Amino acid sequence: METALSTSALVTAALLRPFAGEDGEFKAPGIDEFVGLPALFFEGTPFEINRIIMVRLIALTIMVVLMYLALRKTRLVPGRGQGVAEMALDFVRVQIAEQILGERLGRKFLPLLASLFFAILAMNITGIVPFANIAGTSLVGMPLTMALVSYVAFIYAGIREVGGWAFIKNALFPPGVPWPLYILLAPVELINIFIMRPVSLALRLLLNMMVGHLLLVLAFSSTNFFFVSVSGPAAAFGALTLTGGIVITLFELLIAVLQAYVFTLLTAVYIQQAASEHH
């Protein structure tokens, strides 16, 4: 993982080197976009708030306020706000909860899935919102917390629906496999289900958001560099990087929604697998 990230940082640096070489001033965006940010409030305490934390809190607050305003006065024939909120909630209810988990379990786990979906969506979208310009999920704490919630949820579902022993047995010794294979399969499944699932949930979200931010910074800072610092025909590259930045912005919008969907969907799938008798 460390090597993967440092590789990505190296790649971004390498991409920029030809341009950076022309003028020593250009600095490729790197890990310091996320680590070692100056504190805004409560410096040095466990309640320290830096830029990303603040964006995260504002995004969640706005999401809660919008949801509250939309559903404050509910009517049978919905107005605009209620209509949009209902459509979004219905998407999670129908496309994720009920499709994966079915009627009964879907109903049970819908609040959890909706919380995950809307929280991730709100914090992802800030990555392309002007003045925020960074996803609230691009610090590891939030993806990790949500992955842990998902982890606890599917283990709870397994114990609750099929019983602790049957859940472990189904997970580690899947039926329909010749028994000698269990020697190989059980450890693989153990690592896969109880370690890799939460880790991959957290890292998929975190790295998608980090890389998206790096790409945007790269595109727009290089555009700035070409237009401001470079003179002559080379400055025309700025138009290219600007176009690239706009395209990446639209792409990030898609990624923001997609990652919220994927995280929630996988949580639902894990719950379904844990809760079913055989899988």
Partner 1 sequence: MLSSSSIVTEAGAAIFLPPAYDIIWSAVPFALILAFFFFWVMPRFRTILDERAELIEGGIAKAEAAQAEASAQLEEYNSLLADARAEAGRIREQARADGQAILADLKQQARAEATRITATAQQQIEAERQAALVSLRSEVGTLAIQLAGTVVGETLADDAKSTAIVDRFLADLEAGEKAAK
Q: Which residues bind partner 1 (CB under 8 A)?
A: 1-3, 5-6, 9, 31, 34-36, 42, 45-49, 53, 56-57, 60, 63-64, 67-68, 71, 74, 76, 78, 82, 86, 89, 93, 110-112, 114-115, 118-119, 139-142, 144-146, 149, 203, 206, 210
Are the CB atoms for 151 and 260 separated by under 8 Å?
no
CB of 20 to partner 1, least distance (A): 20
CB of 35 to partner 1, least distance (A): 5
214 token code pair: 């790096």
Report the residue number, 57 or 246, with the smaller CB distance to partner 1. 57
Residue 49's DSSP bridge partners are 41
Q: Is the dihedral of CA 128, 206, 85, 99 positive or negative?
A: positive
Report the residue number, 152 or 239, with the smaller CB distance to partner 1. 152
User: What is the chain's percent helix, strand, coil content, to nearest 5?
Assistant: 80, 0, 20
Chain centroid, CA 219 distance in Å: 21
CB of 202 to partner 1, least distance (A): 9
Cα dist. 190→1, 167, 169, 259, 270 in Å?
20, 12, 11, 25, 14
Report the residue number, 42 or 164, with the smaller CB distance to partner 1. 42
Chain centroid, CA 186 distance in Å: 30
**Backbone dihedral region for residue 129 (phi beyond 0: left; psi -120 to 50: alpha; all else: beta):** beta
Backbone phi, psi, residue 121, to 5°? -60, -45
DSSP one-letter string for 123-158: HHHGGGSTTT-S-GGGSTHHHHHHHHHHHHHHHHHH
CB of 154 to partner 1, least distance (A): 16
Report the residue number, 94 or 236, with the smaller CB distance to partner 1. 94
Report the residue number, 116 or 168, with the smaller CB distance to partner 1. 116
Report the residue number, 90 or 277, with the smaller CB distance to partner 1. 90
CB of 22 to partner 1, least distance (A): 27
CB of 104 to partner 1, least distance (A): 14
HSE, CB side, 13 Å, CA atoms: give it for residue 5.
16
CB of 122 to partner 1, least distance (A): 9
Report the residue number, 123 or 168, with the smaller CB distance to partner 1. 123
